[in-house]
A and B are shown apart, each in its own frame.
Chain A
Amino acid sequence: MAAPAIDHAMSTASQTQTITIAKGINQGLRAAMEADPKVIVMGEDVGKLGGVFRVTDGLQKDFGEQRVLDTPLAESGIIGTAVGLAIRGYRPVCEIQFDGFIFPGFDQIVSQVAKLHYRTQGRIKMPIVIRVPFGGGIGAVEHHSESPESLFAHTAGLKVVSCSNPVDAYWMIQQAIQCDDPVLFFEPKGRYHEKAQLDPTQTPYPLFRSRVVRTGSKATLVAYGPKVRTCLDAAAAAEEDGLDLEVIDLRTLSPLDLAPVFDSVRRTGRLVVVSEAASESSIASEVAARVQQECFYSLEAPVLRVTGFDSPYPPSKLEEEFLPDLDRVLHAVDRSLAW
């Protein structure tokens, strides 16, 4: 089975174009802003500069300074302002420059963004998207390479998603903006420049759904964001050894959509969950707990987790050790198979 993992090159129509993840989000933002004048992009350096990762490039030029707000360096103020804008019917899209910078805004996210809809019986909606470039692989250290998604998935009232490829990036950002709930949108910054074919006339895959991106029968790999590509590469390598692995892209971290994972594990009997975040109290832990609960009699081996270490993000020269890679994933698969 020669399996390109995500078959996006489906259309030969003239609409099809090659885009990166960064460009996908950019074009998705553009489409959302064209569709709804209440969509406002805001954050540090998002306007004139177009974002430190150029994800908002050109938006202020085309939509003006009232739609793309360059804010001071003030994450609490940015999120707080977004709460006020959402109360008045806007759909703010806040960019947090790097994962580790979100914490000054954490209080506003957890105490206000997550709770106002509940507290006001739905009279106040919080259709806020908070974009967070996350994860490692860019040669930086802590504050710039972290994976804080579990902290938000743990908070009732928030939704948390992560895109792994350019096509999802394009659609998921638009779907997140259309969602009436607050969405933490985690972008795999180490893979911003990976390319794929996008046909914007295609029907998008639903936002809060996980997806089997490669079918296989010997073991199941579950990942999200930057580690989906790692798992696909691992599966491709395993295939050369005659080992047929299934890969599932979670896509949504809250709410988790685990039905496809349960179906898969019932067939394969083995599960390895891969993420850059530390394993303690993580998304990977939650997946493992739910799978053992739902698939207990199908499991041939314990659920294994391949994650970043339970430490602060290490010096950049050590990130190859820290980040789960193809070898660590396949080693875990071997351990599962040898159980």
Chain B
Amino acid sequence: MTEPAQTLRDSLYRTIRLIRRFEERSIDLVKAGEIGSGIHPCIGQEAVATGVCAALDPDDIILSSHRGHGHLLAKGSDPGRVLAEMAGRVTGIDKARGGSFHPSDLSAGVYNATGTVGHGAAIAAGIAWASAKAGDGKVIVSFFGDGAVSQGALLEGFNLAALWQLPVVYVCENNGYATTLPVETAVAGTITGRGEAFGIPSRSVDGQDPEVVLAAAAEAVARARSGGGPSLIECRTYRYHGHHTFELKARLKYRDETEIAAWRERDPMDIQAARVDAGTRERIDAEIEELLDDVVRFAVDSPRPDAVDAQDYQYATGLRTRAGVADA
């Protein structure tokens, strides 16, 4: 692996740091009651979104998952509008209809996020079919977790993408747990084996190192863009926090502190920080703190949705199935 240019190294650090601090500020807002749904924090997994999105062009498309804030930020979404979305405010990227769990941001190329696990794989195939037909060179990345590999829907998507040799990169963020179920008690065989069964080039990589992820993603993206069909990348990673912030209250005991501590030894932010000089790091950190102060203020100060708008956009053609009131 050739060393990336220093500007790229700095940029990878910046993205990881932004995601990390964004998530930490978001958890504060969950505790303060500003994000009613709670969130699925991706702290510990930032290198995956960062490395994969660094391999993409702005016009490329990603499909995210319920643990998707990192994907949005790494793909270039406006952090203020992402946080407003999570906080249920009308200034959110989907006017609060996607919330934390499944927002879209078409302008940044985030076309959907599925809360129903594994169902983005076939949607990615459809988007990619259109790309291949148009010859526009766009690559589609579908992010999902290790829980999704037990879903049949995911394999239907793999099959279609391989059958039709579509420009998709499937990225599995294996953080070790599907909610609380350890991956070794849920997944028979291997994750990459699922891709290989369909003839999809599949690799398992260190998901804590953004440069390793970037190199694997770049190879897969190049294959997709040149008409070589789909790839699967398993990124071995870990979430320091719970599946969801409800675990802040419900102290679940499905993993022990030594395991978490061992993973923190290989923290993606530390790994990348070591590649950036101290002065640059301090500047980036300070910029991010300043940015996030504005982001939090923007989100919290934004108005909440009005109930009278709740049925807007239910149908493109304007017809409604219901009379528009609850007691109709």
Contact = CB atoms under 8 A, between A and B. Distances in A.
Interface of A: 66, 71-72, 74, 76-90, 92, 104, 107-108, 111-112, 116-127, 153, 156-157, 159, 179-181, 208, 254-256
Given A85-B126, A120-B97, 14 more contacts: A74-B160, A80-B123, A81-B125, A81-B126, A84-B126, A84-B127, A86-B126, A87-B127, A107-B116, A108-B119, A117-B313, A117-B316, A119-B97, A120-B313
B314 A112 contact: no
Interface residues of B, number: 44
Interface in B98-133: 98, 102, 104, 106, 111-112, 114-116, 119-131, 133
Given A71-B160, A89-B130, A121-B313, A76 B152 contact: yes
Sorted nearest first, the 4 A-B pairs with minimum C-beta distance are: A84-B126, A80-B122, A77-B156, A88-B130
A77 B122 contact: yes
A107 B111 CA distance: 18
Interface string B305-325: 000000011111101111000
A84 B125 CA distance: 7
A74 B159 contact: yes
B131 A80 contact: no
Interface-central residue, B95, B163, B314, by most chain A CB under 10 Å: B314
19 contacts: A72-B159, A76-B119, A76-B122, A76-B156, A77-B153, A80-B121, A81-B122, A84-B129, A85-B129, A86-B126, A87-B111, A88-B131, A90-B130, A108-B122, A116-B104, A124-B112, A180-B316, A181-B319, A254-B321
A95 to B, nearest CB: 16
Nearest to A254: B321
A186 to B, nearest CB: 16
A122 B313 contact: yes
A255 B114 contact: no
B153 A80 contact: yes
B229 interface: no
Contact of A118 (B97, B119, B124, B321): B97
A181 B116 contact: no
Contact of B157 (A77, A89, A117, A122): A77
B23 interface: no
Contact of B315 (A71, A72, A123, A181): A181
B98 A119 contact: yes
A181 B157 CA distance: 24
Contact of B314 (A88, A118, A123, A256): A118
A246 to B, nearest CB: 25
A107 B156 CA distance: 14
B154 to A, nearest CB: 9
Contacts, number: 149
Contact of A76 (B97, B153, B320, B322): B153
B104 A124 contact: yes
A160 B254 CA distance: 45
B104 A119 contact: yes
Contacts of A79: 122
Contacts of A83: 112, 122-123, 126
B106 A156 contact: no
A122 B94 CA distance: 10
A87 B112 contact: yes
A104 B119 CA distance: 11
Nearest to B126: A84
Nearest to B97: A119
Contacts of A119: 94, 97-98, 102, 104
Contact of B126 (A72, A87, A179): A87
Contacts of A74: 122, 156, 159-160
Given A80-B123, A112-B114, A112-B119, A118 B130 contact: no
A111 B112 contact: no
Given A76-B153, A83-B126, A107 B119 contact: yes
Nearest to A111: B116
A116 B97 CA distance: 10
A84 B98 contact: no
Contacts of B156: 72, 74, 76-77, 80
Given A88-B130, A88-B131, A180-B316, A256 B123 contact: no
Nearest to B122: A80
Contacts of B313: 117-118, 120-122
A153 B321 CA distance: 8
A86 to B, nearest CB: 8
Given A108-B122, A121-B313, A123-B106, A81 B112 contact: no
Contacts of B123: 80-81, 83-84, 87, 108, 112
B314 A156 contact: yes
Nearest to B152: A76
A283 to B, nearest CB: 12
B114 to A, nearest CB: 7
Contacts of B314: 117-118, 156-157
Interface in B127-181: 127-131, 133-134, 152-153, 156-157, 159-160, 163
A158 to B, nearest CB: 8
A255 B312 CA distance: 16
Nearest to A71: B160
Contacts of A84: 122-130
Nearest to B320: A255
Given A112-B112, A156-B314, A124 B106 contact: yes
A70 to B, nearest CB: 11
A180 B98 CA distance: 21
Nearest to A110: B116
A179 B317 contact: yes
B157 A80 contact: yes
A72 B160 contact: yes
Contact of A156 (B95, B104, B316, B322): B322
Contact of B321 (A87, A92, A256): A256
A276 to B, nearest CB: 21
Contact of A125 (B95, B114, B130, B316): B316
A121 B95 CA distance: 8
A80 B97 contact: no
